[in-house]
Structure 1
Amino acid sequence: MLIINKSGFMGLPVILAMYGEGAMFYAALMNIPTNLFSFSYGAWAMAKHSHQEAKPPSLVKILFSPGFLASIVVIVFFVFDWRLPIVMADFFSLVGAMTTPLAMFVIGMAMAKLDIRFALMSREVYGLAFIKMLLFPMMVYLIFASFISNPIILSVLIVIAGMPGPAVSTSFAILYEADVGLAARYVFVTTLLSVVTIPFIVNLLGLT
């Protein structure tokens, strides 16, 4: 939940609204390693701490998972500047557009079992949120501001670093029978907090 960013579902629209279409390229580039890391280490880590007795998935199983393979294919297409036929591109765009609402359905079903008052009063979640949404962006600024002169690139790095909890954490928790309640609470609370924390970080660090 801490190391994987919500760079796709929420990060791209926020970057587009704040910095325009030119910044979308850098945000999309950040989404590639995020996906690779999410479907490799993220899946392994969630399965390792599962409530199941089964062992975490092997490296081979991770490397041949649909999410990881799709991320590799995207990188290859980007590097070689390949283009799909219009019909295929439209089909994949349509299927891809379904993933966000489907992910929200999954999170919604997990949250249906939650006590909202308990979720909002969870100290554990607020502690994680402070680290992820305030401490991490400031660390990124301190590390990269000294040698990245392009303000757009620096702003994209920092804003993406301060995104709320990734929806995929809840999906993985359900898939591997991990702590679904904690994952759902974290995504719910951090998404609400992001309305305040993202503008706060942007103004504090002068990224407007």
Structure 2
Amino acid sequence: MALAAILMEQTVVMCLFLLLGYLMGKLGWVTQKGSGEITNLLVRIVVPAAIINSFFVERTPERLLQFGVSAVLICAAALLSMVLSQIIFRRHPVENFGVAFSNVGFIGIPLITAVLGEKAVFYIAFYSVLVGVLQWTWGVYTITGDKQHVSPRKILTNPATIAMGLALLVFIPGWGARLPVVLTRPVSMMAAVNTPLAMVVMGCYLAGADLRSVFSDRFNWWASFVRLVLISAATAALFCLVPPAFAEARTAVFIAAITPIGVNTATLAHLFGKDSAKAVAMVCLSTILSVFTMPLMMLLAGWLWGL
């Protein structure tokens, strides 16, 4: 109950940033081109900084175990999401891709930082990497139906993959808690802007969308329901198997798993000549609805887990 209340509070705070971005977009203070440039900054610098910053901690056997357990939970959540999406949206490639991947970077990391603290990003750092790998392999094949578009280079040069590599280079030798402040503080400061910047840019995207088409397409509602309710509830049930000793890791991974359809759905749909307008509408609707569904799913999880 307490976690759900905290999540609700933080969701409202994030909505205020979302509204700010929406107003800035409507007033023309930030253009759609500007939104794309802010997204580029988030993807290439800010989100990687949040990942690296979470590894500025002392390496202990307990933390190594928690990281391993969270990686297993992340793989289980991602696999469950992809399987359900494939079963339901097999003949609809854009919806299949969108529903399969949650918005870990733009909404998951900011929420987890707000609810559990910035060091809790440690538990889901691998999530961003895994989503990047799956999007540029299974995801691209799902959208295009052509294996030739699958790009190993995109996987290796993905900012989240590079950030994870740097984080492990710092963490595994035990340097995470011993690096000088002059190196860690800039990374920490950059990571701190992730929440407001990510939500402002999401608001700008909403300002550029045709809200009538967003709300009028029943298929968008169905895709959002599957992503936000069906997959979230199934993940909560699956995580009942997790021992209480790993409760914080479970909570962090679950919060990332119940976030809305990821922005990359629209990006890759546009890149490969698919219905990018529909993709944008799905992202926008699921983002709006997630304000209500995420706290409800957290309540459901708490009840299932006996919290």
* TM-score (norm. length: structure 2): 0.53
The Cα shift of 1:25 comes to 4.3
User: Which of 138, 157, 161 in structure 1 is aligned with 2:233?
Assistant: 138
Counterpart CA distance in 2 for 1:188 and 1:94 is 29
Corresponding position of 1:64: 156
More moved, 189-198 vs 141-150 = 141-150
Q: Which has the higher helix share?
A: 2
Q: Which amino acid aligns with 2:231?
A: F
Question: Is the 2:232–2:258 contact (alpha carbons within 8 Å) kept by the matching residues of 1?
Answer: yes
Alignment of 1:98-113 (within 5 A): 101=197, 105=201, 108=204, 112=208
For the aligned residue pairs, the C-alpha RMSD in angstroms reads 3.5
User: Which of 64, 67, 75 in structure 1 is aligned with 2:168?
Assistant: 75
Alignment of 1:36-55 (within 5 A): 36-48=129-141, 49-50=143-144, 55=148
Q: Which amino acid aligns with 1:161?
A: A
The one-character-per-residue Cα deviations of 1:16-56 (angstroms, maximum 9, x if unpaired) are: 444x43xx5444322x22222232221234544359x9941
Corresponding position of 2:112: 15
Question: Is the 2:113–2:119 contact (alpha carbons within 8 Å) kept by the matching residues of 1?
Answer: no
More moved, 76-85 vs 157-166 = 76-85
Q: Which amino acid aligns with 1:133?
A: L
Counterpart CA distance in 1 for 2:198 and 2:240 is 37
Q: Which amino acid aligns with 1:75?
A: L
Q: Which amino acid aligns with 2:230?
A: L
User: Which of 178, 183, 190 in structure 1 is aligned with 2:279?
Assistant: 183
Q: Does 1:193 align with 2:289?
A: yes
The Cα shift of 1:92 comes to 4.3
Aligned residues: 201
C-alpha spacing 1:129/1:109, structure 2 compared with 1 (3 Å): closer
Report sequence identity in percent. 18
C-alpha spacing 1:131/1:76, structure 2 compared with 1 (3 Å): farther
Give secondary structure in 2 for the equivalent of 1:133: helix
The Cα shift of 1:7 comes to 2.7
Question: Is the 1:6–1:165 contact (alpha carbons within 8 Å) kept by the matching residues of 2?
Answer: yes
The Cα shift of 1:168 comes to 3.3
The Cα shift of 1:118 comes to 0.7
| Residue ranges of structure 2 left out of the alignment (5+ in a row) | 1-97
C-alpha spacing 1:164/1:94, structure 2 compared with 1 (3 Å): same
The Cα shift of 1:108 comes to 3.6
Q: Which amino acid aligns with 2:101?
A: I
Question: Is the 1:164–1:190 contact (alpha carbons within 8 Å) kept by the matching residues of 2?
Answer: yes
C-alpha spacing 1:13/1:41, structure 2 compared with 1 (3 Å): closer
The one-character-per-residue Cα deviations of 1:114-138 (angstroms, maximum 9, x if unpaired) are: 4210111222222221121111222
* TM-score (norm. length: structure 1): 0.73
Counterpart CA distance in 2 for 1:17 and 1:97 is 10
